Structure 1
Amino acid sequence: MDKKDILIKDVLVKNVITLNYDSPLSEALGIMKKHNFHQIPITKKKRFIGMLCLRNIITKNVDPEHTKSESLIIKTPVLNPENRIEDAVELLLNTGIKCLPVLDKNDRLEGVVSETDLIDFLTKNYSIKDITSELFTISEDQTIGKVRNMFREKNISRIPVVDKENRLVGIIRDMDLIKTMTPEKEKFYDEKIPVDKLSVKTIMTRPIVVGEEKNIRDVIPLIKKHGEVIIMQEDVPVGIITAKDILELMRFKPSKEIYVEITGLRGEEEQIKLDIDNEIKRFVQKFSRMLKNLEYLFIHVEKLRESGKRKYFDVRTRFKTPLGMFVSRAGSWDLLEAVGKALDRLEKEVKKKYDKIAEKHKI
């Protein structure tokens, strides 16, 4: 069956666990830990009112026992059973969340669709070199507080732990931070020491690793089970692949010209969108003169936090060229500036590789 013909009702997960809006966060964290959930639908009078996301909880200084779930819920787009899976992919990429609610005509929850429910529908196989994302790491002598800050500032939900030689020794996922916010924390640390001052070694777990020779289909089962795979060169981590990375490839439509897609601009002013479009066109034209057979440029924008009327933007790029895959990331309170910085960093990386190859072939 062509993925264009697959509807949400064919893939949604039914009989979903939900929480009432006035349930304490501690109850939500218990459910998340037990079932490995990153999001829980919140209801009021049996109607869906929003999603509670794990990352929103662990990056905030709250008391789970005395904070109600409704205080941290976010409004999300909703799906209906007749939507196509392509609609779900687009919304998941645009919002940056992991799971979307599926509602009936009366706003009652029929089920949910998550990233990992959809990645099996990737129709083309790729080398993992074509999809690897930029990798942030943390030293094994750093603290849990540093991890929490990096999750918030870098907009990530897992981080590999490395030793002084940059060898991989562990990983910390957002799920691992639950134990720092519940009564379970008493089992692994001395209450005289603040949790955020503890070493990352106290909560890190074993990472799932693969070599660069693997293909995407080889790692999809691992991503569905663990959330990510770390790409290795010998003992050194060089990249990471998550479900979001695979969703981006599902949106890729091969053509004779470079395929360009930008997500996350919903709600922005039309003039800003036009300015960004012009910035991207200049970038593409520059490299089209330098290189043939450019494949795609993905740009994802996410709003991380707000201060008054100001919003902080995180921009990620992925650029597939004959020279290989290039990625960049940048942030700013100004959206156009963030996009410009990300493209500038991308340009520097491509030119560095281009110049290196040109120098090698000089006679």
Structure 2
Amino acid sequence: MARVAHVVADTGAFLSAAPLQDIAQNLYTVPEVLAEIRDRPTRRRLAALPCQLHLRRPRPDLLRLVTDFSKKTGDYPSLSAADLQVLALTCQLQAETDGPGSLRWEPQEKVRLSSTPRHPEAPLHLAGFHLPTKPSPEKSTVPAESDEFSSFLYWRAPLPSIEEELQELVWLVPYAEEEEDEESDDEGWITPSNLKQVQQDTGHCDTTPVGVQVGCVTTDFAMQNVLLQMGLHVLAVNGMLIRQARSYILRCHGCFKTTSDMTKVFCPHCGNKTLKKVAVSVSDDGSLHMHFSRNPKVLNPRGLRYPLPAPKGGKHANNPHLVEDQPFPQQRLSRKARQKTNVFDPDYIAGVSPFAENDIYSRAANLQIRDAALGAGRRRLNPNAVTKKFVRRR
């Protein structure tokens, strides 16, 4: 496989243990990418990298242009500071190799959403809504005159004769069985031997980067979308050239709005908890195609059968999260509980003193709620533990 002259690697390329020495002749990255790598196995592979890794920073003007371009494509909220640095460095290497005229600073076509002809959740026959249809040409309902049916009061089409069709099927079935026996058992199955051919027939096979001078190895779909729309080359972790990027967005099945912020729980447009993840493929021209699931269980009605419990007040209330801006109690520690962790106390011994107070009688202690340093949240008690039951005796 032909190696690319200049390759910029993202964090995902190092985390996925990609054979970068077989992909690139010159490997580049930014210092922010190395700061994101924290796990020990990846750092060991990075220290023993069999090729030289060049650290470069992009120019500030290119960084600003890449940021503006990502805002036009709608991928800016999904990109981090390190991602923008990698994109700007790729643009800088492309400009140094082929000149600044090879870059595209304006999307050729606006991002358009295209989907199946009819949404699975599209409502039909809504009360109070009139959906006009296109007028169809009037068809003649008067049957053709025939002497055979002129005596009937109501005209009826003649019943089809199926005797001839059955006779043909009887003759064709033995021949079909003989042909099926002659076919190979592997026909119709995808095997390792015909995988490449199937990918080429369906158009999903990545191509070898022939004649590519600058490329970027990344697993981030937002970065791939920006690179493809800027006219840059995107390389997979195996060194193949990516022609089509695919990612996921959140789509509200209540108002049919979409958002690329995957951390959202409630719809930013209607405010309901009706966001579902939808697969999206990005083509070469930057157009998005949403792929809907035909599985009806995607819209799970769980939790809609029984009424919600009445909301409770207080410091330790456990109310369900219904809206995005719902206020929740902070569950701060009491003053007595904070006294034992007073670091400005001259007698403070970092919490190892045997004479420190241990709160076991308050409601927070009974619910086993601790501060963030000790693990915030309510801990689930052991249901099999033996507990005392205080029963009032008469």
> Does TM, scored on the shorter chain, surpass 0.5?
no
TM-score normalized by the length of structure 1 = 0.23
Determine which structure has the larger helix proportion and give its number. 1
TM-score normalized by the length of structure 2 = 0.22
Q: Which has the larger radius of gyration?
A: 2
* Greater relative CO (CA pairs within 8 A, separation 6+): 2
Determine which structure has the larger strand proportion and give its number. 1
